[in-house]
Structure 1
């Protein structure tokens, strides 16, 4: 059981009504709170919840239409996403209770201040390295449209500008991160055919490839519904034709790809997690056609070259700076 869920269950008497669990972990909390429903945007968590509690959790970027008389938000990593979730949920809870639970290491000790516009927050519990806060929504704020929180920025490419559209919670929201910036300088000599942007975020790499090599088929894949929505907005903003998939890891990717491009994440929430990237490096050769290649950018301290060489053979360092490496490996 997730430690945040354990904190909620210490106060289980408060959560017996029609409850919405926002960003809930994939544990047994729905089983312990039979009148609760979930809202998730992580495809892996949603698959587990669907298997254990059919039709008890909704996947996506918008507040479910279910009727609920209280809600618990599991604090996400992104402050912008927290603002959106609090405003969107509080708009449905005038005079009712809104709770925020999170790990101290994840910033819950200050995040409760984001609830002040809803009422006066009070701390209910402090256990399992977590805190639980409650606010009675006094005068529900107007519903926040997700589209109003979009951030747009332009990236110059050799054949024009790429317009990037990002939503709260998406990696490097509203700006180009340094790793992807380095990768964009080294998209030359890509194989022709079907290319995958793995962990696509706002769709920067996939959209750039489609602009630079319009004859290629481009697919983008991310585990996060907000990222997938952002990628679709970026595609539309540039008038591109590309596919966006939501799935948990490389296992959900197409096969017979001619190239996989990635600036893979190595953090989930407040915890360092390399599993998605390690799984990518271990299995990507199964998804790449002979003669195809993997091109990956990563913090150079991560030392992915050894893993890449283990599963592909020779791995070239195509570019390097003070912080990042671009790796290139070809499937023989």
Structure 2
């Protein structure tokens, strides 16, 4: 059981009625709270929850259309995303309780100040290195317009400007990160066919690929619903058409790809995880056609070449700058 869930269950009498659990972990919490419904924006967690608690968890960037008398937000990493989620929940809880739970090292005490915008707050519990806070919503705010909270910026590229639309919580929110910038400089001579932007974020790479290779099919994949929504907004802002899918890792990707391109993530919340990228390197060959190519950018300190060569083929370093390297390998 996730320690945040354990803290909630220490106060289980507060959560007996209709309850919405926003950003809940994929554990057994719904089994302990029979009147609760989940809202997840992590595709992997949603699959796990749906398989165990059919019909009791919603996936997306807006709250589900279900009745609830109270809500609990599991603190996300992003402060901007926390603002949006608290507002979206408080908008439906006039005069009722809104709870916030999170790890101390994730900044729960800071986030409690964000909670205080909706009513007087109080700390209910502190255990398992987590805290639980409560506020009664004194005056419900208007339902937030998520798209209005997006940050937009322009990339000046060789074939003209490209508009990027980034929603709260999405990787490198409102700016182009150094790794992606390096990868954008090395997108020449890709094989024709079906291209995949793995871990698409705000859709920077996928949009560039579709504009540079208009005759290729392009798919953008991310585990996060807010990233997928951002990518759709980025494509629309540039009048581009491509498929955007939500899924947990490379296993969710199409097969017979001509190339997989990625600035793969290695952070999840306050913890560091390399599993998604390592799975990509191990399983890329299952999704690439013969002679298909993997091209990715990664921090130089990450020892990916041996894994690439073990599972795909000889690994070539195309470029190195500002602590990043671009690796390329072809399926034999």
What is the rounded CA distance, in whole Å, between the counterparts of 2:106 and 2:96 in structure 1?
26
SS at match of 2:66: coil
- Pair 1:207 & 2:207 matched: yes
Deviation at 1:121, TM superposition (A): 1.1
1:228-267 to 2 correspondences below 5 Å? 228-267=228-267
Deviation at 1:94, TM superposition (A): 0.8
Partner in structure 2 of residue 20 of structure 1 = 20
Deviation at 1:110, TM superposition (A): 1.2
Partner in structure 1 of residue 154 of structure 2 = 154
1:309-328 to 2 correspondences below 5 Å? 309-328=309-328
Render the CA deviation track for 1:216-264: whole Å, top value 9, x for unaligned: 1100111111111111111111111211111111111111100000011
1:111-130 to 2 correspondences below 5 Å? 111-130=111-130
Partner in structure 1 of residue 37 of structure 2 = 37
Partner in structure 1 of residue 308 of structure 2 = 308
What is the rounded CA distance, in whole Å, between the counterparts of 1:249 and 1:166 in structure 2?
21
SS at match of 1:145: coil
SS at match of 1:302: coil
Partner in structure 1 of residue 163 of structure 2 = 163
Render the CA deviation track for 1:86-114: whole Å, top value 9, x for unaligned: 01100111111100000011111211100
TM-score by length of 2: 0.99
How many residue pairs match? The answer is 332
1:280-299 to 2 correspondences below 5 Å? 280-299=280-299
What is the rounded CA distance, in whole Å, between the counterparts of 1:49 and 1:143 in structure 2?
26
Aligned residues: CA RMSD:
0.8
Partner in structure 2 of residue 46 of structure 1 = 46
Deviation at 1:322, TM superposition (A): 2.9
1:61-100 to 2 correspondences below 5 Å? 61-100=61-100
Render the CA deviation track for 1:131-158: whole Å, top value 9, x for unaligned: 0000011111121111110111111221
Gaps spanning 5+ residues in structure 1: where? none
What is the rounded CA distance, in whole Å, between the counterparts of 1:19 and 1:82 in structure 2?
19
What is the rounded CA distance, in whole Å, between the counterparts of 1:218 and 1:101 in structure 2?
39
What is the rounded CA distance, in whole Å, between the counterparts of 1:54 and 1:33 in structure 2?
14
What is the rounded CA distance, in whole Å, between the counterparts of 1:72 and 1:142 in structure 2?
19
What is the rounded CA distance, in whole Å, between the counterparts of 2:89 and 2:201 in structure 1?
24
What is the rounded CA distance, in whole Å, between the counterparts of 2:78 and 2:321 in structure 1?
27
What is the rounded CA distance, in whole Å, between the counterparts of 2:140 and 2:12 in structure 1?
25
What is the rounded CA distance, in whole Å, between the counterparts of 1:99 and 1:186 in structure 2?
46
Render the CA deviation track for 1:265-307: whole Å, top value 9, x for unaligned: 1011111111110000000011111111000011111121111
Deviation at 1:83, TM superposition (A): 0.2
What is the rounded CA distance, in whole Å, between the counterparts of 2:126 and 2:198 in structure 1?
38
Partner in structure 1 of residue 216 of structure 2 = 216
Contact 2:166 2:202 in 1 (8 A): yes
Deviation at 1:214, TM superposition (A): 1.1
- Pair 1:7 & 2:7 matched: yes
